[in-house]
Amino acid sequence: MFDSDFGSRARSFMVRGVVVLALLAVIIKLGDMQIVNQMVYGKRSEDIVTRIMVQEPMRGKIFDRYGNVMVENDPAYSVSVVPSDFRSDEIAPLAALLKIDTTDIIRRIRIGERISPYFPVLVRPDISFRTFSSIEEHLNSFRGVYFDVEPKRVYVGKANAAHILGFTKEISEKQLETLGDYYKPGDIIGYTGLEASYETILRGEKGYRYLAVNARGQLMGEYDNGKDDVPSQEGSDLYLTVDDGLQALADSLLNGKRGAVVALDPNTGGVLAMASAPTFNPSVFSGYTTRSEWDSLVNNPDRPLFNRATMAALPAGSTFKMVLASAALQDSVINDNYTVDCTGGFLYGNRIFHCDLPQGHGIVNIIRAIQVSCNVFFYHLMLKVGFKRWTQFGRMYGFGQKTGIDLDHENPGILPSEEYFNQIFGKDKWTKGYLLSLAIGQGEVSVTPLQLACYVMSIANFGKYYQPHLVRYIYDRQTGKMYNTQYSERTIPIRKEVFDQIRHAMYLVVNGPGGTGFPARIPGIEVAGKTGTAQNPRGKDDAWFVAFAPFNHPRIALAVLVENSGYGAMHAAPIAKKLIEYYLNEDNPVPQEPSKGIVADAALR
């Protein structure tokens, strides 16, 4: 069929054929547009041009573990301006009508023009229906001014849960530059919390409406009966592991304090509650946030926007002692026959390291040392176990690294090692005295409340480390399917007998004679815990308490931090007690499986 020579007749025929076909395709398409459909296009062109209005998608809702709504959307009105149609002498009257600054309108138009003078830029979001109906008539007299219904976030749960949920806000100029093509000025975007980390899942996809506008920029109605419109796609819903009621209690217990609470389900790693105080009201940001409201939150010295549960890295005090106890028992460096006589202090080099009890605890073994929180015992133990193993066990429990929770920002904390000390102090510039502080969770070691809760979780469940998480299911409104989220888990290589001893000691902390955690004792519920009091260079000590309950089949593991308050037993343990009491006595103990049924595992993150 083909002559394989260069420039053959068959080839030249084919080359001509390609030219004819290509040009014919173009001419046929032109004929279709210009002759067959000329009327359609002609009408569009005559004196009508199109303007595109963005149809904001409905953002996904957020539910708690029992299916209670925590966040949903309310309609609000918004007003936009098309820069190319808008006359600058109308800025002042429009600003007056919408009750905003003229400088604000000018700034917004200037940003919008950079993208296109033909697209509407948002000038005023969040206008209530009442206000809107009173100004609608006036708005129609402006040229190039449009309005639309736009969903707005409302927080309907019992809990404030500001640091879990995060907030949505109008996109900043900096985000516009970095986040790429999808976002346009005036768009609402998740700033913090789940709103930020699940932004692409929650937000949905924008739709577009084509409006017909005449040559004088006045609205003529739907363009081509909406044939070219692209409908918006609703965002997906999140079903959390969080217990709204427990979260509300955690929020209220921290009220007026600085601190954090993290409560986990030790069987899954799901977060039952995560609170940080001081907090803020996320609804301040949905809709129109005034400059002063924003400034007062950002400039507050107590940093209410800062999520202490995942971001505050502090020494954990005595709650950290189980790391060293695990190492000693697992390595069989000691057993529970090994005792130390605590006289209230420990001389090392030329320095005395004190115990909490000035007169000393007397003769203690490891169980008793945890129960009464004897520092001297752990000073001895640290020298026997060694720095290296301590660091390794700390790492097994997840310290010094991010937990991988599904929030955007997390502090990894610091878990010192020999290399770390050599690096920050210089080789041979540090002494073993530094280790004694580490033994009791003081000094260079720092942890987040979330890390500490995960550590208690894995003690409670005999060494299972579940990746902590907030989202359990994702409901995709486009497909109508429920997706299961996937998280990692690992087993900490420590023998069951070691956990038995440590758990027993933690039981005695709360329930035994002389146990430091007695304020967390609950009649009818076997609580195990550990107190911690960490020195804070800025004021009073930080109070810590970690706990899990019930002892035999734990359903909750938690860490409580109250900054600059004093003893952990006094200030943190009572909070833990109330949370455990509430959660285990709740009416609704079985989490509701979503009614839609789970069809697949999510591969969304």
Smallest gap from Cβ 15 to other proteins, in A, equals 6
What stretches of 225-374 show up as alpha helix (H) in DSSP?
Answer: 244-253, 291-298, 308-311, 321-330, 366-372
- Stretch 102-121: interaction string toward other proteins, x if CB under 8 A: --------------x-xx--
The answer to whether the beta carbons of residues 274 and 163 sit under 8 Å apart is: yes
- Stretch 236-265: interaction string toward other proteins, x if CB under 8 A: ------------------------------
Q: Name the residue among 299, 257, 261, 293 with its Cα closest to residue 278.
A: 257
- Stretch 40-79: interaction string toward other proteins, x if CB under 8 A: xxx-xxxx-xx-x-x-------------------------
495 binds other proteins (CB under 8 A): no
| Residue partners of 176: CB distance under 8 A and separation at least 6 | 111, 183, 184, 185
Q: Which of 173, 228, 586, 593 binds other proteins (CB under 8 A)?
A: 228
Smallest gap from Cβ 112 to other proteins, in A, equals 11
- Choices 37-45, 431-439, 496-504, 581-589; region in contact with other proteins by CB under 8 A: 37-45
Rounded to an integer, what distance in angstroms lies between the CA atom of residue 450 and that of residue 261? 8
Report CA dihedral (332, 509, 565, 401) to the nearest 10 degrees.
40
Q: Name the residue among 518, 12, 580, 538 with its Cα closest to residue 264.
A: 580
User: Toward other proteins, which CB reaches closer, 11 or 107?
Assistant: 11
Smallest gap from Cβ 545 to other proteins, in A, equals 42
User: Toward other proteins, which CB reaches closer, 119 or 353?
Assistant: 119
> How many other C-beta atoms can be found within 10 angstroms of the C-beta atom of residue 601?
10
Rounded to an integer, what distance in angstroms lies between the CA atom of residue 275 and that of residue 163? 7
| Residue partners of 295: CB distance under 8 A and separation at least 6 | none
- Choices 73-81, 185-193, 207-215, 448-456; region in contact with other proteins by CB under 8 A: 207-215
Size of the site for other proteins (CB under 8 A): 51
Smallest gap from Cβ 475 to other proteins, in A, equals 17
The answer to whether the beta carbons of residues 542 and 569 sit under 8 Å apart is: no
The answer to whether the beta carbons of residues 373 and 508 sit under 8 Å apart is: no
| Residue partners of 372: CB distance under 8 A and separation at least 6 | 357, 361, 364, 514, 515, 516
181 binds other proteins (CB under 8 A): yes
16 binds other proteins (CB under 8 A): yes
Q: Which of 110, 136, 140, 182 binds other proteins (CB under 8 A)?
A: 182
Q: Name the residue among 82, 57, 60 with its Cα closest to residue 69.
A: 60
Q: Which of 137, 177, 178, 215 binds other proteins (CB under 8 A)?
A: 215
221 binds other proteins (CB under 8 A): no
| Interface of this chain with other proteins, residues 184 to 203, rule: CB under 8 A | 184, 200
Q: Could you report how far apart the first and last alpha carbons of the chain are, in Å?
A: 55
Smallest gap from Cβ 284 to other proteins, in A, equals 30
Interface residues with other proteins (CB under 8 A) are: 2, 4-8, 11-12, 14-16, 18-20, 22-23, 25-27, 29-31, 33-35, 37-38, 40-42, 44-47, 49-50, 52, 54, 116, 118-119, 180-182, 184, 200, 208, 210, 215, 228, 230
